[in-house]
């Protein structure tokens, strides 16, 4: 049973407290957290609030189990394990007694401290924002247990030790396990001072601990939203238009209704929903619909037309995202100039579990089961759709079968669809299970935007880069969402230019410009967001510039990164571990790239073989990571391995294209992803660090592409500037 994960059946905050009190006669820990030591972009604003509402992150039961309440979505990144590790460390718990439980949707208690009053998971922020919070939570629980032991035994708290789940008083030889003291501890006041451990005495953080979710995910018992099927559930599939922003003109549903098992056909804003007693009937019913669309407002352009428009824009100045020195003059005066353009297609996230959720809607409440990544937004959007208040929407977060950003979107698309269906059938309490098929997923939009980049660089007579102009053309992920105010400054969507506008290299004349385009294709953040394209364009172009100046890629980076010790640290580690500079046989090559995002630093060295046909095989990736203090080194390695595989899939094959506005791909045969036979050998090395821990969930992706591209050049003399590699016959 170790590592079992309980899903609270009635996950309201109140019910949570009640059930823990009634069911466990244990200790529910609530405390006020001052925000001291908090990390993250919003630290200053949030600290100004001065106070956080009491939190409940840990429960200790009479049976000696410690349940850590996890406020972030477990979507594969190992966050159950990571957050539990932090709390267990300060509690001095034994890892075997640790359980995890998903938190209810309650932004007042379980908000992402980097995001303000919003509960959600993303931006590789889960460990970073939770680290101080859960240390405090663990320390508070420990202090109460120590107080309880001191009172029970009549000894001074200072003479009590806690180690691996055992509370002991050496002088009297007494000891107790947590469970024995939980009831008493629950009656005591929390000490005002909660000293935290010195990191050097950590016994769990920084060690390899078994993942909490391995058992359930290897015997079929792990529950995903797709597995939630209350009695009487109707499965719903939606027929959506095949051009974005088309609307329903007419539907002929007679044939659909005639299919055995089909119960209802309703129209909703997203399209036409077929409800049936199971997936198969719903699918047949949907196939039988005859639908006409009004395409007056539909996007009808194809990828080729978009590319032509983007290329034209690239010839004109964009809005400045960064401007240093005088780039025009420096380019004009350069001893040597080079220019290059890079193309990036739309990308679907294609998480393994297609979008789905279960909704039970009544006139006065809504229950939603989902692998929910953005609880506060989803609560608000579901409430608005249903005509309820957000607090009447209860979200039951379950494991997500991957997300990579897809499940967190400002429109809460799949949640809103399901709620709108439940409303259309009368808000009668029938469980509605909306399932997207893989075709729906690939064709359904919210892609990583298509981008076009043009870079121009100038070198002085000694081959040193003196000018850098970078133009980025593409849609804004943030425009039109509630985040626009925070993320778009003077016309610049931060997510469009991250990784480019903050180029760390010391180049005296530097301009980064942005053209934000408007296209009727819904777009979204995709694992590592701006890093998915900006890292490629900047790190591949730097190699081109270096080559024009006769410079070694590693030496050039080291020199231009003087003073950036963490960048240099990962570069040096990756170079050393990969034997950078040693000879490779003909047809093989090595490339390097470095990237910082979310305060984590990653360098990768790729080794590739390029066949005479041009086909690229990635043989080996050596990756160095500096993410501050490593909470779970093995989980970090797993995330980097996975990020590399995910990035490589996009690099080689990832491509959503449009023909007259219609998506041309539909499933894994034409939206190809990485399979095991193309997975390279991967070595991950973590830089030892005492810095505050930062995230790694997205960090395997950005440096992978340019490291491989630079390696391909070293192996074959070919620069690949159009993604995916398949586009040019290199995959």
Partner 1 sequence: MPVSFTLNGKPTSLDVDPEMPLLWALRENTGLTGTKFGCGAGLCGACTVHVDGEPTRACITPVGTIDGQQVTTIEGVDGPAAAAVRTAWRQLDVVQCGYCQSGQIMAATALLRQVPRPDDAGIDAAMSGNICRCATYVRIRAAIHRAARILEG
Binding site for partner 1 (CB under 8 A): 75-78, 210-211, 213-224, 226-227, 229, 235, 260-261, 278-281, 350-354, 399-402, 404, 435, 437-438, 634-635, 638-639, 641-646, 648-649, 667-669, 673-677, 679, 681-682
Taking the least distance from each CB to ligand FES, the nearer of 224 and 525 is 224
Q: For residue 697, which of 207, 127, 130, 292 has the smallest C-alpha distance?
A: 127
Following DSSP, what letter does each residue of 650-673 receive, concatenated?
A: HHHT--B-EETTEE---STTTS--
Q: Residue 343 corresponds to which tokens in the numbers above?
A: 């193309």
Which stretches within 601-686 are classed as H helix?
A: 633-652
- By beta-carbon proximity to ligand FES, the closer residue of 133 and 437 is 437
Among positions 11, 26, 35, 76, the unique one binding ligand FES when judged by CB under 6 A: 76
Which residue is listed with tokens 């030591």? Answer: 37
Contact partner, 254, from ligand FES, partner 1, none, Cβ < 5-8 Å per class? none
Distance of alpha carbon 84 from alpha carbon 212, whole angstroms = 9
Closest CA to 655 of 644, 646, 664, 643: 664
Contact (CB, 8 A) for 357 and 368: yes
Q: In angstroms, give the least distance from the CB of 382 to partner 1.
A: 23
| Binding flags for ligand FES, 158-197, as an x/- string (CB under 6 A) | ----------------------------------------
Query: How many CA atoms, within 13 angstroms, populate the side-chain half-sphere of residue 448?
Result: 26
Q: Work out what residue 33 binds among partner 1, ligand FES, none; the CB cut-off runs from 5 to 8 Å by kind.
A: none
Q: What value does the CA radius of gyration of the chain take, rounded to a whole number of Å?
A: 27
CA distances from 52 to 49, 59, 127, 194, 318 (A): 8, 19, 18, 16, 42
Residue among 399 and 468 whose Cβ is closer to ligand FES: 399
- Tokens at 114, concatenated: 């980097």
Is position 352 an interface residue for ligand FES (rule: CB under 6 A)?
yes
Binder of residue 1, out of partner 1, ligand FES, none (CB less than 5 to 8 A by kind): none
Work out how close the CB of 352 gets to ligand FES at its nearest, in angstroms, rounded to a whole number.
4
Binds ligand FES by CB under 6 A, chosen from 3, 123, 138, 402: 402
Residue 280 interacting partner from ligand FES, partner 1, none (CB closer than 5 to 8 Å by kind):
partner 1
Of residues 355, 356, 369, 389, the one with CA closest to residue 104: 369
Nearer to partner 1, 120 or 546 (CB): 120
State which H helix or E strand residue 201 sits in.
Answer: none
Angle at 408 between CA 402 and CA 414, to 5 degrees: 90
Q: How far is the CB of 77 from partner 1 (least distance, A)?
A: 7
Q: Which is nearer to ligand FES, 351 or 457 (CB)?
A: 351
In the complex, least distance from residue 448 CB atom to ligand FES, rounded to whole angstroms: 19
Per CB under 6 A, 371 contacts ligand FES: no
Q: Compute the distance between CA of residue 437 and CA of residue 656 in angstroms, rounded to an integer.
A: 17
The interface partner of residue 278, options being ligand FES, partner 1, none and the CB cut-off 5 to 8 Å by kind, is partner 1
Across 231-241, b (16+ Cβ under 10 Å) vs e yields eebbbbbbbbb
Q: Which is nearer to ligand FES, 170 or 668 (CB)?
A: 668
Q: Which partner from the list partner 1, ligand FES, none does 214 bind, CB cut-off 5 to 8 Å by kind?
A: partner 1
Question: In whole angstroms, how close is the CB of 319 to ligand FES at the nearest point?
Answer: 39
Of residues 286 and 567, the one with the C-beta less far from ligand FES: 286
| Residues binding ligand FES: number (CB under 6 A) | 3
Helix (H, G, I), strand (E, B) or coil at 280: helix
Contacts of residue 66, Cβ cutoff 8 Å, sequence gap at least 6: 58, 59, 60, 88, 91, 93, 97, 98, 99, 165, 178
Closest by Cα among 69, 133, 135, 126 to 103: 69
- Compare residues 211 and 243 and give the one whose CB is closer to ligand FES: 211
Which of ligand FES, partner 1, none sits in contact with 128, Cβ below 5 to 8 A by type? Answer: none
* Least Cβ distance, residue 344 to ligand FES (angstroms): 24
Min dist CB 541 to ligand FES, Å, is: 33
Query: What's the min distance (Å) between Cβ of 172 and partner 1?
Result: 40
CB of 533 to partner 1, least distance (A): 20
Nearest to 236 by CA among 435, 48, 77, 417: 435
CB of 367 to partner 1, least distance (A): 19
In this complex, which beta carbon is closest to ligand FES, that of residue 78 or of residue 693?
Answer: 78
Tokens of 42: 């919003």
Q: Is the separation of the CB atoms in 458 and 536 below 8 Å? A: no
Give the per-residue contact string, 456-485, with ligand FES (x = CB under 6 A; - = no).
------------------------------
697 binds, among ligand FES, partner 1, none (CB under 5 to 8 A by kind): none
Q: Using the minimum distance from each CB to partner 1, give the nearer residue, 46 or 358.
A: 358
**Residue number with CB closer to partner 1 (54 or 210):** 210
Nearer to ligand FES, 183 or 222 (CB): 222
Smaller CB distance to partner 1: residue 214 or 392?
214
Q: Burial-class residue 405 by CB neighbours within 10 Å (0-12, 13-18, 19+).
A: buried
What is the H or E stretch that residue 479 is in? none
Q: How far apart are CA 606 and CA 600, in angstroms?
A: 19
The item of partner 1, ligand FES, none sharing an interface with residue 224, based on CB under 5 to 8 Å by kind, is: partner 1
Q: Which residue number, 185 or 674, has a Cβ lying nearer to partner 1?
A: 674
| CB of 715 vs ligand FES, minimal distance in Å | 30
Q: Give the span between the Cα atoms of 29 and 185, in whole angstroms.
A: 9
Least distance CB 150 / partner 1 (angstroms): 38
Query: What DSSP designation does 198 have?
Result: P
697 is a contact residue toward ligand FES (CB under 6 A): no
Those residues with Cβ within 8 angstroms of residue 9's Cβ, 6 or more apart along the chain or in another chain:
none
Binding partner of residue 704 among partner 1, ligand FES, none, CB cut-off 5 to 8 Å per kind: none
Q: Which residues pair with 366 in a beta bridge?
A: 361, 393
Residues lying near ligand FES in the complex (CB under 6 A) are found at: 76, 352, 402
């Amino acid at each position: 049973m170790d590592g079992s994960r309980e899903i609270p059946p009635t996950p309201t905050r109140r019910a949570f407290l009640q059930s823990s009190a009634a069911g466990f006669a244990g200790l529910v820990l609530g405390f006020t957290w001052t925000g001291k030591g908090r990390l993250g972009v919003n630290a200053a604003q949030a600290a100004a609030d001065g106070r956080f509402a009491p939190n409940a992150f840990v429960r200790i039961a009479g049976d000696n189990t410690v349940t850590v309440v996890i406020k972030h979505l477990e979507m594969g990144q190992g966050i159950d394990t990571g957050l539990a590790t932090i709390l267990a460390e300060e509690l001095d718990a034994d890892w075997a007694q640790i359980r995890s439980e998903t938190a209810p949707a309650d932004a007042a208690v379980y908000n992402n401290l980097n995001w303000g009053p919003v509960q959600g998971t993303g931006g590789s922020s889960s460990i970073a924002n939770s680290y101080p919070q859960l240390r405090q939570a663990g320390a508070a629980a420990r202090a109460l247990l120590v107080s309880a032991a001191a009172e029970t035994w009549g000894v001074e708290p200072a003479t009590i030790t806690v180690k691996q789940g055992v509370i002991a008083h050496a002088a009297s030889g007494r000891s107790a396990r947590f469970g024995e003291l939980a009831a008493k501890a629950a009656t005591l006041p929390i000490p005002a001072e909660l000293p935290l451990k010195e990191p050097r005495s950590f016994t769990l953080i920084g060690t390899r601990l078994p993942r909490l979710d391995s058992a359930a995910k290897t015997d079929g018992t792990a529950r995903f939203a797709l597995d939630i099927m209350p009695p009487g559930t109707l499965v719903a599939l939606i027929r959506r238009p095949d051009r974005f922003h088309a609307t329903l003109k007419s539907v002929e549903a007679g044939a659909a209704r005639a299919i055995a098992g089909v119960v209802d056909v309703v129209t909703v804003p997203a399209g036409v929903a077929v409800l049936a007693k199971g997936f198969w009937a719903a699918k047949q019913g949907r196939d039988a619909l005859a639908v006409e669309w009004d395409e007056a407002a539909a996007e009808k352009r194809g990828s080729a037309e978009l590319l032509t428009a983007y290329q034209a824009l690239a010839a004109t100045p964009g809005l400045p995202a960064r401007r240093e020195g005088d780039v025009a003059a420096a380019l004009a005066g350069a001893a040597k100039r080079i220019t290059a353009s890079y193309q990036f297609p739309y990308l679907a996230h294609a998480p393994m579990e297609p979008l789905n959720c279960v909704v039970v809607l009544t006139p006065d409440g809504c229950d939603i089961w989902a692998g929910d990544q953005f609880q506060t937004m989803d609560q608000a959007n579901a409430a608005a759709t249903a005509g309820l208040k957000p607090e009447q929407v209860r979200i039951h977060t379950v494991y997500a079968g991957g997300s990579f950003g897809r499940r967190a979107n400002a429109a809460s698309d799949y949640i809103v669809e399901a709620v709108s269906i439940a409303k259309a059938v009368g808000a009668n309490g029938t469980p509605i299970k909306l399932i997207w098929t893989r075709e729906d997923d690939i064709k359904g939009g919210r892609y990583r935007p298509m981008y076009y980049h043009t870079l121009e660089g100038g070198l002085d007579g000694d081959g040193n880069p003196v000018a850098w102009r970078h133009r980025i053309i593409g849609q804004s992920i943030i425009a039109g969402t509630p985040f626009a105010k925070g993320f778009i400054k003077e016309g610049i969507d931060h997510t469009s230019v991250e990784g480019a506008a903050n180029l760390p290299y010391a180049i005296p004349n530097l301009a980064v410009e942005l053209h934000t385009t408007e296209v009727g294709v819904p777009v979204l953040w995709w694992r590592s967001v701006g890093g998915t394209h900006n890292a490629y364009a900047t790190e591949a172009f730097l190699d081109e510039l270096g080559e024009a100046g006769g410079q070694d890629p590693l030496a050039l980076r080291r020199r231009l990164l003087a003073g950036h010790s963490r960048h240099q640290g990962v570069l040096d580690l990756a170079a050393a571990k990969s034997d950078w500079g040693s000879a490779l046989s003909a047809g093989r090559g090595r490339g390097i790239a470095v990237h910082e995002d979310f305060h984590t630093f990653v360098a990768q060295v790729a080794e590739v073989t390029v066949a005479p046909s041009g086909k690229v095989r990635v043989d080996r990736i050596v990756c160095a990571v500096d993410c501050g203090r490593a909470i779970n080194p093995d989980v970090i390695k797993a995330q980097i391995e996975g990020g590399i595989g995910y990035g490589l899939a996009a690099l080689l094959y990832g491509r959503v294209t449009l023909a007259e506005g219609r998506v041309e791909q539909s499933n894994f045969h034409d939206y190809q992803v990485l399979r095991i036979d193309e997975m390279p050998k991967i070595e991950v090395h973590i830089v030892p660090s005492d810095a505050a821990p930062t995230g790694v969930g997205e960090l395997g992706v950005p440096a992978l592409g340019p490291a491989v591209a630079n390696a391909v050049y070293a192996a074959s003399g070919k620069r690949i500037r159009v993604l995916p590699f398949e586009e040019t016959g290199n995959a």
